[in-house]
A and B are shown apart, each in its own frame.
Chain A
Amino acid sequence: MAAAATSRWLGFRCRLCLKLRGQRASPCGQIPCCRFYSGSATLPKVEGTNITGIEEVVIPRKKTWDKVAVLQALASTVSRDPTAAPYAFQDDPYLIPASSMESRLFLLAKKSGENAAKFIINLHPKYFQKDIAEPHIPCLMPEYFEPQIEDISEAALKERIKLKKVKASVDMFDQLLQAGTTVSLETSNSLLDLLCYYGDREPSTDNHFQQSGKSEELEEDTGENDKKSKKADDQFGVTWRAKNNAERIFALIPEKNSYSYCTMIRGMVKHRALVQALNLYAELLNNRLKADVYTFNALIEATALNMNEKSEDKWNNILELLKQMAAQKVKPNLQTFNTILKCLRRFQAFGRLPALQTFREMKAIGIEPSLATYHHVIQLFYHHENPSKGSSRIIYDIMNEITGQKFTPKDPDDDMFFQSAMRVCSFLRDLELAYQVHGLLNTGDNWKFIGPDHRRNFYYSKFFSLLCLMEQIDVTLKWYKDLVPSVFFPRSQTLIDLLQALDVANRLEVIPQIWKDSKEYGHTFRSDLKEEILMLMARDQHPPELQVAFADCAADIKSTYESQDARQTAPDWPANSLNCIAVLFLRAGRTQEAWKMLGLFRKHNKIPGNKLLNEFMDSAKASNSPAQAIEVVKLAGAFSLPICEGLTQRVMADFAISQEQKEALGNLTSLTSDSDSDSDSDISEGI
């Protein structure tokens, strides 16, 4: 704002100077024009007689400040701190979330505290009358939800309608009719509004923070249909009953105007009484009335949702409705086109061409698409895309079109766009496009359209997985540092993607850090993640200091398995993990612990791998202890492994062993060769 004022002032100065220069140039001929400012101050004296030119000086008007202008300017100077939890959380170590579950829990707790306080205040308004604030702060005072007017009058009816008391309003209306009072059309219509909007049911108490039960969407977008049906259940759980109060009152109104019809139609469509809605529209036309644009939008929806028709017929019906709109000179709005596009999504492949035509139509008549429009188009073109078919490239058009735009909310579905665009990027494996989408998200206030928590998580998971797949590891790690955990908490699959990226780029030394993070973000008991980590660490030989770090990490993972044992819920140790942990211990020189691991193999009836046994043999050789070597052979013998013989030969060759030991070995080998047949039964017994 200050900048604007400055520029205006400068503009003013410049105008002045130009004017002055013009005057000065004529008598003096050529004057270097670089120093207007110093010259202008003295000019009136020089020119003396010719002051008339300056009379146009306009003193800038007093600037009226918006009440939040200063705060907005200050807020714009604060950027996100990637090292801190989002501001919404309490700045207290105990209350900073460490996992997505915790973050949801904390936000819900905060919101439910507010709701509870409000509930108590509204329940007992008489105890909260003391108004200490000056000036008065209305939002801190209790709201009155009980009707105050007791007598039977239209005013009382109006009050009940305003308080959204459905049943009380209907009763009041009936009483008024019985008393012979006529209710004005306006009031009747607003009563109809109330009845139609809530489907003749009491509205549920306003609970804005209904996030429970939505977490399952998080996993995959294919659940969109389920989600929709679920949402439909929530929103349209109230179905339209025939002969309900709305229909009754509608019939009772003597002189219905078009608004009465319209609100009835909208209510019927909202509560899925589609056939009745279409019939009522015919009735409206018969009465020579005109529907408004909202009603047409509802009718379009009704047409598309109608079960018993083919896509093509439905589309023709929609076109018919649009033609009627044009004929009745009803202007379509953004909702009209978004509704059409949303409905076209149901037609799947058939809907693509009509969708494009619809989109062009709305552009042609100058209706600016909202994010929801693009969302519907993307969903239509990429919904059940299988990678083998050539994929549509419409997303590039869309992104070229909207890059750099700043959006304002215009449609309730606006917050779905970024999620679906990022899904397509991930599907197309196009990192450049993903950056473009992310750039759009960070343009202006567009970030607000990322939607609720689960949608943000989805978006960033997809984005980060794509980064892991396509981007250089250093850049990926930079993003990791920037986004995790201040923007989202990674899922275990996201971390596995990151591990694979680290593997590809040969940067395995970061793994212990990743394990630490994943423990923090609540993936301690994810065995797939743990197995991936152990596998990557144990696969190759590394320099000693790295091996030490890996062994520490392995010990930590081992301890999680042990605590898991204590919980008795999770499945027991996978053989791979045991192998990897033992190998890591051996390589780091923690022989004692490695030998203990062998004990665990016995305990859990897992079979050590050949590679592991060879490594044990190596370590026995390194410490030059034949006893250990024989122990390894014994173990192999106990499991009746085919490698037993090879190990025995190795012991014979590599170690200086005593006669006794030799005999023991001889026994072992003979035992294995003898008991080949029973070995199976042994193992099965053990199991």
Chain B
Amino acid sequence: MLPRVSAVRPLRPLARFPLCSGGSEAPAAATVLLGAPHATARTKNNVQRYFGTNNTICSKKDEQPASMHEISKETESQESVKENTKKDLLGIIKGMKIELSTVNVQTTKPSSTRQLKSVEATINKLQKAPGDAPKKRTKSLSPELVAAASAIADFLPFDKQTTKSELLRQLQQHEEVSKAQKNGGRAKISVSNIISDMKVAKSATIRVSTRPVHQIQFDEGSDDYMSQKTSDVKKSLRKNMLKGKRLNIFDLKAVTEETSETETTPSLWDIEFAKQLAAVNEQPLQNGFAEMIQWTKDGKLWEFPINNEAASRRLTLMLLGKGVLFLGVSHAMPVSEPNTENDKMTCPVFIALLPSAVFFIYVKN
């Protein structure tokens, strides 16, 4: 449902309510997020878009500590929510506070207080009559959560019904996951996961808040990143082998600083070690040219731009196997008969590399 909404009205949320609400939307963010990490990749990405908006909204909260207070009260009031769900929520909210310090604050219409009241009213109303949510989906959710979800759905500028059902679906998923976590005893994962996701959302938010016009393309970018992240979600939960405690014995500065090392002749140890290293990647030659390179290095073959001073006026002829013929002549001299006019000779250099390609290079002295 979310993809459709954003496709139909891609810019509206920001165009109409650039930073519409106050703190009262924070629970929305939180609730959505609870479901997010365990939803399918697609859904998660889309949730992320909302989160982008919401996180910007959170920046308002700095200016309005009162509303922040409201949130936590509201969170606490949801007593029937399972214990670790609450913990997660608190974790998220803590995380959000951390994020806040870096988010750009933007000025908006001071409409939030009024809206907040209306939302609260809605919540109260809904708490009295929470029954209109789809039964089969909410069977494991508490009525409070359902109420909160519908309140949020009311508040969001999209299709109410679809928003709400989506939220409920995600809540339920989260409920299942948290149950499973209770059994497995790994409650930490979801919190850390959520917080790690928040970081991603933040970077998107900054860009969105500065240049809302480009929201779509930026969202695409974060989509890519997110889907990649989802596929690696298991991996990112583990400790990365590069991050973590190190021995802390050596100092980067001390190690990298240049010391004037006196040049000494390599000892036997050095020579033997170098030999070992050379043997490490020694492989049989792969083709005729590799063999010719080897010969050049051994000094058995003339180096290629031919250095006429490398030897006196003598002929060097080499026949190599495998159809590779290399004939180098310096200051030419025919093989068969001695030539008296050495200096006037032409120097032919034949490099018959392959039967199909024969080069003739003539060098005049």
Identify the A interface with B (CB < 8 A). 65, 67-72, 74-75, 78, 80, 86-88, 91, 107, 133-135, 137-140, 190, 193-194, 197, 208, 263, 266, 294, 319, 322-323, 325-326, 329, 331-332, 356-361, 363-367, 377, 393-394, 396-398, 401, 409-412, 414-415, 445, 447-450
Interface assignment of B111: CB less than 8 Å from any CB of chain A: no
Which of B181-189, B198-206, B279-287 lies on the face that meets chain A?
B279-287
Residues of chain B from 306 to 341 with CB closer than 8 A to chain A in the complex: 310-312, 314-316, 322
Pull 5 A–B residue pairs with CB atoms less than 8 Å apart, ordered by A. Answer: A80-B286, A331-B254, A360-B242, A449-B281, A450-B283
Contact check: which of B244, B272, B287, B353 meets A87 at CB < 8 Å?
B287
* Known A69-B304, A326-B250, A358-B247: A266·B269 in contact at CB below 8 Å: yes
A436 CB to nearest B CB, Å: 13
Tell me the nearest residue of chain A to B290, going by C-beta: A75
- Distance to closest chain A CB from B350 (angstroms): 15
Q: How far is the CA of A521 from the CA of B290 in the complex (A)?
A: 28
Given contacts A193-B267, A401-B242, A448-B283, contact A332 B255 (CB under 8 A): yes
B252 near A67 (CB under 8 angstroms)?
no
Q: How far is the CA of A414 from the CA of B280 in the complex (A)?
A: 7
- Judge whether B129 is part of the interface by a CB distance below 8 angstroms: no
Chain A at the B interface: mostly helix, strand, loop or mixed? helix
Given contacts A86-B286, A139-B298, A409-B280, 12 further A-B contacts (CB under 8 A): A71-B292, A72-B289, A75-B286, A88-B285, A134-B314, A139-B300, A294-B269, A323-B249, A357-B244, A360-B245, A396-B235, A411-B280
Asked if B254 contacts A326 (CB within 8 A), the reply is: yes
Contact of A364 among B252, B281, B287, B288 (CB under 8 A): B252
Q: Give the CA-CA distance A138 to B297 in the complex, in Å.
A: 11
Query: CB-CB < 8 A to B365: which residues of A?
Result: none
A263 touches B279 (CB 8 A): no
Q: Which B residue's beta carbon lies closest to that of A76?
A: B289
A71 touches B296 (CB 8 A): yes
Taking CB atoms, residues of chain A closer than 8 Å to B254 are 326, 329, 331
Complex Cα distance, B240 from A377, in Å, reads 14
Contact assessment for B289 and A412 in the assembled complex, using a CB-CB cutoff below 8 Å: no
- Do B267 and A360 touch across chains, with their CB atoms under 8 A apart? no
CB pair A134–B312 under 8 Å, yes or no, is yes
| Residues A365 and B252 in contact in the complex (CB < 8 Å), given A197-B268, A208-B279, A415-B280 | yes
Say how far A77's CB is from chain B's closest CB, in angstroms: 8
Asked whether, in the complex, the Cβ of B255 is within 8 Å of the Cβ of A365, the reply is yes
How far, in whole Å, are A294 and B353 apart by their CA atoms in the complex? Answer: 47
B251 at the binding interface (Cβ < 8 Å): yes
Q: Which residue of B lies closest to A355 (CB)?
A: B241
Docked complex Cα distance between A558 and B269 (Å): 59
Residue B248, interface by CB 8 Å: yes
0/1 string, B238-277, CB within 8 A of A gives 1: 1011111111111110111001000000011100110011
Q: Does B242 lie within 8 Å of A75, measured CB to CB?
A: no
B252 x A359 contact (CB < 8 A): no
A540 to B152, CA, bound (A): 64
Complex CA gap A535/B299 in Å reads: 59
Q: Find chain A residues with CB under 8 A from B303 CB.
A: 67-68
Query: Residue B289 contacts which of A75, A358, A397 (CB distance < 8 angstroms)?
Result: A75
> Does B355 have its Cβ within 8 Å of any Cβ on chain A?
no
State whether the Cβ of B293 lies closer than 8 Å to any Cβ in chain A. Answer: yes
**Chain A residues whose C-beta falls within 8 Å of the C-beta of B299 in the assembled complex:** 135, 137-139
Partner of B250, one of A78, A208, A356, A365: A365
Contact with A along B140-184 (1 / 0, CB 8 A): 000000000000000000000000000000000000000000000
Query: Is B289 a contact of A71 with CB atoms below 8 Å?
Result: yes
Contacting B288 at CB < 8 Å: which of A87, A266, A319, A394? Answer: A87
Given A78-B287, A139-B298, A365-B250, residue A70 in contact with residue B304 (CB < 8 A): yes
Q: Tell me the bound Cα distance from A410 to B274 in angstroms.
A: 9
CB-contact partner of A360 in B234, B246, B268, B286, under 8 A: B246
CA distance A667 to B262 in the complex (A): 105
B246 touches A364 (CB 8 A): yes
In the assembled complex, B278 has its CB within 8 A of some CB on chain A: yes
Contacts of B234 in A (CB 8 A): 393
Nearest Cβ distance between residue A664 and chain B, in whole angstroms? 70
A107 to B282 Cα, complex, angstroms: 14
A359 pairs with B241, CB closer than 8 A? yes
B250–A361 touching, CB < 8 Å: yes
A449 with B246: in contact, given A134-B314, A194-B268 (CB under 8 Å)? no
A75 with B287: CB separation less than 8 A: yes
Partner of B252, one of A68, A70, A366, A398: A366
A87 to B293, CA, bound (A): 14
Cβ of B305 under 8 Å from chain A? yes
Give bound CA distance, A415 to B292, whole Å. Answer: 25
Cα-based distance from A206 to B296 in the complex (angstroms): 23
B208 to chain A, nearest CB (A): 29
Complex contacts, B252 vs chain A, CB 8 Å: 364-366
- A67-B303, A71-B293 known; A409-B247 Cβ under 8 A: no
Inter-chain contact count A-B, CB under 8 Å? 167
Residues of B participating in the A interface, judged by any CB pair closer than 8 Å: 234-235, 238, 240-252, 254-256, 259, 267-269, 272-273, 276-293, 296-300, 303-305, 310-312, 314-316, 322, 353
B292 to A135, Cβ gap below 8 A?
Answer: no
Q: How far is the CB of A247 from chain B (nearest CB, A)?
A: 18
CB of A364, distance to nearest CB on chain B (Å): 5
Task: State the CA gap A107–B247 with chains docked (Å).
Answer: 47
Residues of A within 8 Å of B287, CB to CB, are: 75, 78, 87
Tell me, in angstroms, the Cα distance from A360 to B298 when the chains sit together.
41
Question: For residue B286, which residue of chain A has the nearest CB?
Answer: A87
What A residues does B259 contact at CB under 8 A? 331
Chain A residues contacting B310 (CB-CB under 8 Å) are 135
Q: How far is the CA of A450 from the CA of B284 in the complex (A)?
A: 12
Residues on the A chain within 8 Å of B290, using CB: 75, 87
CA distance A78 to B238 in the complex (A): 43
Question: What is the CA–CA distance of A329 and B249 in the complex, to the nearest angstrom?
Answer: 11
Contacting residues, chain B, for A139 (C-beta < 8 A): 298-300
- Shortest 3 CB-CB contacts between residues of A and residues of B: A75-B289, A88-B284, A448-B281
Q: Judge whether B241 and A366 touch: CB under 8 Å.
A: no
- In whole angstroms, what is the CA distance A263 to B270 when docked? 12
Docked complex Cα distance between A139 and B285 (Å): 19
B residues less than 8 Å from A190 (CB atoms): 267-268
Q: CA A357 – CA B315 in complex, angstroms?
A: 62
**Chain B residue nearest to A322 in the complex (CB):** B249
Q: How far is the CA of A360 from the CA of B267 in the complex (A)?
A: 31
Q: Are B293 and A75 in contact, CB atoms less than 8 angstroms apart?
A: yes
State in angstroms the CA–CA spacing of A91 and B320 once bound together: 14
Residues of A within 8 A of B297 (CB): 68
Nearest-neighbour CB distance to chain A for B231, whole angstroms, equals 11
Residue of B nearest to A415 (CB): B280
Contact indicator B244/A356 (Cβ below 8 Å): yes
Give chain B residues whose Cβ lies under 8 Å from the Cβ of A67: 296, 303-305
Cross-chain contact B247 with A361 (CB below 8 angstroms): yes
Interface contact A366-B235, CB-CB below 8 Å: no
* Complex: chain A residue closest to B237, CB-CB: A393
How many angstroms from the CA of A80 to the CA of B290 in the assembled complex? 12
Q: Across the interface, name the chain A residue whose C-beta is closest to B303.
A: A67
Interchain CB contact under 8 A, A68 and B285: no
Residues from chain B with a CB closer than 8 A to the CB of A137 are 298-300
**Which residues of chain A are within 8 angstroms of B291 by Cβ–Cβ distance?**
87
* CB-defined contacts of B268 to chain A, threshold 8 Å: 190, 193-194, 197
Given contacts A329-B254, A356-B244, A401-B242, contact A410 B277 (CB under 8 A): yes
Chain B proximity of A1: nearest CB distance (Å):
12
Are the CB atoms of B241 and A398 closer together than 8 Å? yes
User: What's the minimum C-beta distance from B336 to chain A, rounded to whole angstroms?
Assistant: 16
- Say yes or no: A356 contacts B241, CB within 8 Å: yes
Chain A min CB distance to B287 (Å): 4
Nearest Cβ on chain B to A231's Cβ, whole angstroms: 13
Q: Is A319 a contact partner of B304 (Cβ separation < 8 A)? A: no
Cα distance A137–B288 when bound, in Å? Answer: 20
Q: Is the CB of B238 within 8 A of A393?
A: yes
Would you call B280 and A71 a contact (CB within 8 A)? no
Say how far A528's CB is from chain B's closest CB, in angstroms.
Answer: 31
